[in-house]
């Protein structure tokens, strides 16, 4: 069975008869679905153009009530972006501190302190964010990363104590 390509569009450029007896043409403003096979051929045998299916007669292109559009940003997205940036900084400091601790460098203790400081900033930002209106969504989307980084820094501190 050939694949079907369906493209929802508003048919502003498609002509439509204004009334049955008139040859005058107008513009259709209804949403339609254009269906073509994988070869680009129309699905109606003998038809030169694409098959038109009115959008209101199908559930393929109408968004369901209560569903969020993919391109719509939520108010929590800005907070999550700030948390993600701080997470990146804290993660970088953690990686640097891990490398320096592994090499037993002179700078290892300072790098570990910097990693702990950035983690503390992240945790403060996170705790303030989850207390707000969108706390549940923020906790669901960011919480696991914060906990993993916190455990990583704690393990790094333990490893440093064992080496001394």
Domain-embedded: residue 18: yes
In angstroms, the CA 162 to CA 114 distance is 20
Domain-embedded: residue 66: no
102 and 53 within one domain: no
pLDDT band at 53 (very low <50, low <70, confident <90, very high): very low
pLDDT of 36 > 80? The answer is no
- Tell me the pLDDT tens digit for each residue of 56-71: 444 444 445 566 556 6
In angstroms, the CA 155 to CA 164 distance is 15
Domain hosting residue 86, numbered range: 75-163
- Note the pLDDT of residue 85: 97
Domain-embedded: residue 68: no
Mean pLDDT of 91-103: 96
138 and 92 within one domain: yes
- Tell me the pLDDT tens digit for each residue of 111-149: 999 999 999 999 999 999 999 889 999 999 999 999 999
Neighbouring-strand partners of residue 17: 25
Domains: count for the chain: 2
82 and 154 within one domain: yes
- Note the pLDDT of residue 22: 43
pTM for this model (two decimals): 0.56
- Note the pLDDT of residue 61: 44
DSSP annotation of 59 = S
């Amino acid at each position: 069975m050939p694949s079907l390509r369906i493209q929802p569009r508003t048919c502003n450029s498609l002509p439509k008869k204004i009334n049955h007896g008139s040859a005058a043409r107008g513009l259709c403003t209804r949403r339609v679905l254009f269906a073509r096979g994988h070869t680009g051929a129309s699905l109606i045998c003998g038809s030169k153009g694409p098959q038109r299916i009115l959008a209101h007669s199908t559930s393929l292109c109408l968004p369901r009530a209560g569903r969020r559009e993919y391109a719509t940003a939520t108010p929590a997205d800005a907070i999550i972006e700030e948390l993600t940036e701080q997470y990146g900084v804290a993660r970088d400091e953690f990686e640097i501190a891990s490398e320096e601790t592994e090499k037993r460098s002179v700078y290892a203790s300072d790098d570990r302190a910097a990693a702990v400081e950035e983690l503390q900033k992240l945790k403060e930002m996170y705790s303030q964010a989850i207390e707000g209106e969108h706390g549940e969504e923020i906790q669901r989307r960011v919480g696991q990363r914060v906990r993993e980084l916190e455990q990583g820094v704690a393990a790094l501190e333990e490893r440093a104590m064992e080496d001394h």
